[in-house]
Chain A
Amino acid sequence: MQELKSFIIKEFRHIVRDKRALLILFVMPVILVILFGYAITNDINNAEIAILDNSKDELSIGLTNKIVSSGYFLQKASLQTNKELQEVFRSGKIKMAIVFPPGFAQTFYREKNVQIQLIADASDLNVAIALSNYAHSIIKDYQNELNKDLGQTLLFETTTKMLFNPEQKGVYMFVPGVLALIMMLISALMTAVSLAKEKETGTMRVITVSPLSPITIITGKVIPYLVISMIDTCIILLMAVFIFGMPINGNLFLLALVNLMFLFAALSLGIMIASFAETQQVALIMSIVLLFLPTVLLSGFIYPIKNMPLWLQVICQVSPAKWFIEAIKSVMIKGTGIQDIWMQLSVLLGMIIVMIRVSIVQSKKKVS
């Protein structure tokens, strides 16, 4: 116990004295969350839109004027046909289109409600959502003004259609992704590099000749990074909830369990990498290939897995981050219980077992 304590203290000293490590451990998570968070909640000003007015009556023109004069939107085009609509979207000239049906005012007064269609370019989903929300509230304002004059309740109904991204990857999607990235960075990369460093400088040999058991060595190595990862997870989640308004609909214990499971998977991955790498350089390169690419590109964090070719989808299955992101999304956004994510948890557990097994076999081979 004394030995383990001493090992952990030593490990914390390494971390505290390494300015680059400190930056990665504590500044990077905050920067990533802010970057991803604000990059997607930018203010909308003079967003380019097109109007396809099939009625051209006093109401549709009045509403168009109100929308354009709001300052949020800039009318780039007045369209005549649906075909033109597709073209302007494809060319990327506009971010949103507003479509008025034929006989707009007539329907409104007669049927007491009328549909207005908002079509947004959802390849930039967050902008698309913000734009349609703005437009929606302007339309509601106009409706209320009219109703006041008329003394009765008539409705404008808006339907929103998202183009180019029918899946509607969530606004909060970045949080699970950032969590996965940070945990991989700290638990896997830092563990791998610091283990490889001991090998490179020869201290590992001295430790293995000492009476310290391999379990004490690994535990001592891993605990500091485990603690720091947990702190970072809390920081990221708190920022997500209080700064960006992300909901946590599920059970907090389940959320912690999912995070811990992924943390252990990341730590095992780091240990496995270190069992192959003899130098920090090699550990770093292996980490980039084995951690970053799968976590960023093959996890569904940035690119939806469903849209990938089949062979790539198969490869995605071995990315621990893919299973973590699925599980944490279910828990945080959908608020599901353990019965819906047991599969993700089991897969992560399986990965942990396999990676630890490989590390043990590999280290034994190395000793010989």
Chain B
Amino acid sequence: MEASIKTENLTKCFGSFTAVNNITFKVDKGEIFGFLGANGAGKTTAMRMLCGLLHPTSGKASVAGFDVFTQREQIKKNIGYMSQKFSLYEDLTIKENINFFGTIYGLSNTKIKEKTEQLLIRLNLMEEANSLVASLPLGWKQKLSFSLALIHDPKIVFLDEPTGGVDPITRRQFWELIYETADSGTTVFVTTHYMDEAEYCNRVSIMVDGKIEAIDTPDNLKKLFDASTMDEVFYLLARGASTQE
């Protein structure tokens, strides 16, 4: 299977501190890959390198077939990104937001029109098209934000804690959107705090102190660590980190 993301000994140092330490992994096309780790474990730094925002110190990595050292511009065109804050312009209408994000990804006007209609129908937001985003409930903002991250049909979408602050039912609905996206062939790279969500991923990696300590399907990991939930797996690994210190 074609690799969507591939890293080999990817490392990032800030002075004498090694934030990301020799990580090597592969994410397949259309896979939902959970990227887990405690705060400060190096998740964000790794993700920034993969998004072309940060220059790695050493190692190799390619995203959507492009090199993170030399082809950052191409990477940016081929990935989507959604952050935990949903990151929409609250004082713009839904339509204006779609328009803006469409243009900054270089879509043509006709393409944007087409996408706007599709998106509004899919999210059932036709009637609210001209109301300000500020007036939308949180769950809708989340869905809109996700759809905007996909507006340019990226090969990979990075979701940075996309379900923060949302109720369990909305989270469940959101995961259905993620499944739909993965089914259509888009790779989903997701970080999360919620360990129940880790169970929804095809495979997960767990980062501890800049290193990937475990990487496999949730079921295999549970077997390996003799745990009944991902929460336990995570706890066992994270405790390892604190005893080392």
Contact = CB atoms under 8 A, between A and B. Distances in A.
Interface of A: 2-3, 5-7, 10, 13-14, 17-18, 201-203, 205-212, 367-368
Given A209-B51, A209-B81, A203 B103 contact: no
A3 B54 CA distance: 23
Most buried by A among B48, B79, B84, B104: B104
B90 interface: yes
A3 B109 CA distance: 12
Given A6-B100, A209-B51, A367-B48, A201 B90 contact: yes
Contacts of B237: none
A3 B105 CA distance: 8
Given A6-B99, A367-B48, A210 B104 contact: yes
B96 interface: yes
Interface in B186-226: none
B100 A211 contact: no
Contacts of A207: 104
B160 to A, nearest CB: 8
B18 interface: no
B71 interface: no
Contacts of B99: 6
27 contacts: A6-B99, A10-B89, A10-B92, A13-B91, A13-B92, A14-B89, A14-B91, A17-B91, A18-B91, A202-B83, A202-B85, A205-B83, A205-B87, A206-B82, A206-B101, A207-B104, A208-B53, A209-B51, A209-B53, A209-B158, A210-B101, A210-B105, A211-B104, A211-B105, A211-B106, A367-B48, A367-B53
B81 A205 contact: yes
Nearest to B79: A209
Contacts of A18: 91
A3 B91 contact: no
Contacts of B101: 206, 210
Contacts of A202: 83-87
Contacts of B87: 201-203, 205-206
Most buried by B among A202, A206, A210: A206
Given A202-B86, A211-B106, 16 more contacts: A2-B103, A3-B106, A5-B103, A10-B89, A13-B92, A201-B87, A202-B84, A205-B83, A205-B87, A206-B87, A209-B52, A209-B79, A210-B104, A210-B105, A211-B76, A211-B77
A211 B53 CA distance: 11
A2 B108 CA distance: 9
B36 to A, nearest CB: 20
B216 to A, nearest CB: 28
A209 B54 CA distance: 11
B144 interface: no
A321 B76 CA distance: 41
Contacts of A210: 76, 81, 101, 104-105
A203 B88 contact: yes
B207 to A, nearest CB: 18
Nearest to B134: A17
In the A-B complex, the 4 residue pairs with the smallest Cβ-Cβ separation, listed nearest first, are: A202-B85, A6-B103, A209-B81, A202-B87
Contacts of A7: 100, 104
B73 interface: yes
Contact of A203 (B89, B105, B149): B89
Nearest to A13: B92
Nearest to B145: A206
A200 to B, nearest CB: 9
Contacts of A209: 51-53, 76, 79, 81, 158
B77 to A, nearest CB: 5
Contacts of B73: 211
A92 B91 CA distance: 54
A212 to B, nearest CB: 5
B96 A13 contact: yes
Contacts of A2: 103, 106
A223 to B, nearest CB: 16
Contacts of A17: 91
A202 B149 CA distance: 14
A367 B54 contact: yes
A206 B88 CA distance: 9
B131 to A, nearest CB: 13
Interface in B16-48: 48
Nearest to B100: A10
A31 to B, nearest CB: 25
A210 to B, nearest CB: 5
A316 B86 CA distance: 44
A18 B99 CA distance: 20
B91 A201 contact: no
Nearest to B15: A368
Contacts of A14: 89, 91-92
